[in-house]
Amino acid sequence: MSNSYLFTSESVSEGHPDKVCDRISDEVVDLFLAADPGARVACETLATTNRVVIAGEVRGPESLVANDVVDREKIEALARKAIAEIGYEQDGFHHARCEIDVYLHGQSKDIAVGVDASGNKDEGAGDQGLMFGHARRETDVLMPAAIQYSHDILKSLAEYRHSMPKSGLGPDSKSQVTLKYEDGKPVGVTSVVVSTQHDADMTQKQVRELVRDHVEKVLPKGWFPPEDEFYTNPTGIFVIGGPDGDAGLTGRKIIVDTYGGAAPHGGGAFSGKDPTKVDRSAAYAARYVAKNIVAADLADKCTIQVAYAIGVSHPLSLLVDTHGTGRVAEDKLVKAVREVMDLSPRGIREHLNLAKPIYAPSAAYGHFGRQPTAEGHFSWERTDLVEALKSALT
């Protein structure tokens, strides 16, 4: 790629139909992990006009799964609660009136045999696949700037909507930010697109000026785009939204969930999966390693790839790519990473303390670039591996 170019990333809000589904699926994961840290969950959700369908396979305590029958009332209740917290009380999608069907069932014994630890066999990966992690020195959270700004605009709008019952905004919204790069570094914003659901009595001018405040708040000073490149609700009206306007599915926003296209994604979605599924846990571990390499000033940009086979505990491959910005040879970084972190499914889960009900907050506004909490949310965003990496390289 040329050193001077335009690059665009997008984000979607918690009320986007796909994100409603991600939230419900992750609420199911949290419900099971709260009851049993060893629970297994693979949950998919579909949402459309006043209907939600929850399906998949689970394994957990008798309080949730008795004789292979899942407690559907608990699942339905948490789905309604999630929809209410997002803010859906519309005729076409209402937390109290939508129909909710639950088709969760017991986990396949064939999968359990491959994944479970037994005898001298360690816990295996929950599936085959390749996962990527990425970090770069463009924002204070070491994320690509376009996706981070896109997330932050929508988070700001959501915080305003939740704090102002008469805000006039609905839960469904999307953003898109285009950055100009020179010599490989972002130097400004050339365009911003924000589409947000709104009340029928709001004018387009009102929507535009409301959105403007949040865009200006997020972008660096002087980076607001030209007026004719600031697009708000380009179709002219956005009253019908959410699952009433477009069906949603778990796992359809994997690029929004990761790096906005600025780095590769292995293909597997995150939401609805317990941490034995390396689609989720190994992608978190890869981000953790990449972020710590950049935080340790060993590189300005870093991409990690790791790959697994179902039922096999050790990773089949590990790649460290510093994109020509490394201060240390990449083969030495690979050796150091292997030394300081166990990248087996069990090693990842224990190192990052993933067997906890911490996943619902990750369902919107990206899984990366977030702030770790004392309760264990976003543990993969910590930079506590810095000193260990430096020591391994001496």
Q: Which residues are annotated as a binding site for K(+)?
A: 44
Clarify whether 76 is annotated catalytic.
no
Of 7, 14, 16, 360, the catalytic one is: 16
**CA-to-CA separations, 137 to 90, 145, 166, 233, 290, in angstroms, rounded:** 42, 9, 39, 32, 11
Clarify whether 121 is annotated catalytic.
no
CB 264 within 8 A of CB 284: no
Q: Which tokens sit at 134?
A: 């990425």
Annotated binding residues for ATP, as ranges?
Answer: 16, 172-174, 246, 252-253, 269, 273
Of 214, 277, 287, 349, the catalytic one is: 277
Of 136, 155, 253, 349, the catalytic one is: 253
CB 224 within 8 A of CB 214: no
Clarify whether 277 is annotated catalytic.
yes
Of 23, 59, 136, 273, the catalytic one is: 273
Q: Which tokens sit at 193?
A: 């697109």
Q: Which tokens sit at 251?
A: 């796992």
Clarify whether 246 is annotated catalytic.
yes
Clarify whether 273 is annotated catalytic.
yes
Of 44, 123, 152, 274, the catalytic one is: 44
- The DSSP annotation for 41-98 comes to EEEEEEEETTEEEEEEEEE--TTTEETTEE-HHHHHHHHHHHHHHHT-EETTEETTTS
Q: Are strands 93-94 and 99-106 parallel, antiparallel or unpaired?
A: unpaired
149 backbone dihedrals φ, ψ, rounded to 5° = -65, -40
Annotated binding residues, as ranges?
Answer: 16, 18, 44, 57, 107, 172-174, 246, 252-253, 269, 273, 277
Annotated binding residues for Mg(2+), as ranges?
Answer: 18
Q: Which residues contact 217 (CB under 8 A, 6 or more apart)?
A: 156
Clarify whether 247 is annotated catalytic.
yes
- What sign for the dihedral angle of Cα 96, 98, 99, 101? negative
Closest CA to 63 of 76, 55, 74: 74
Helices (H), the chain: 17-35, 72-86, 109-115, 145-163, 204-218, 254-257, 278-295, 330-340, 345-352, 386-392
Of 7, 32, 238, 270, the catalytic one is: 238
Q: Are strands 51-59 and 99-106 parallel, antiparallel or unpaired?
A: parallel
Of 71, 85, 246, 330, the catalytic one is: 246
Clarify whether 252 is annotated catalytic.
yes
Clarify whether 280 is annotated catalytic.
no
Alpha carbon distance 99, 93 (integer Å): 10
Of 7, 10, 14, 18, the catalytic one is: 18
Of 19, 95, 291, 377, the catalytic one is: 19
Of 252, 287, 351, 367, the catalytic one is: 252
Alpha carbon distance 266, 284 (integer Å): 12
Q: Mind telling me the catalytic residues?
A: 16, 18-19, 44, 57, 174, 238, 246-247, 252-253, 273, 277, 279
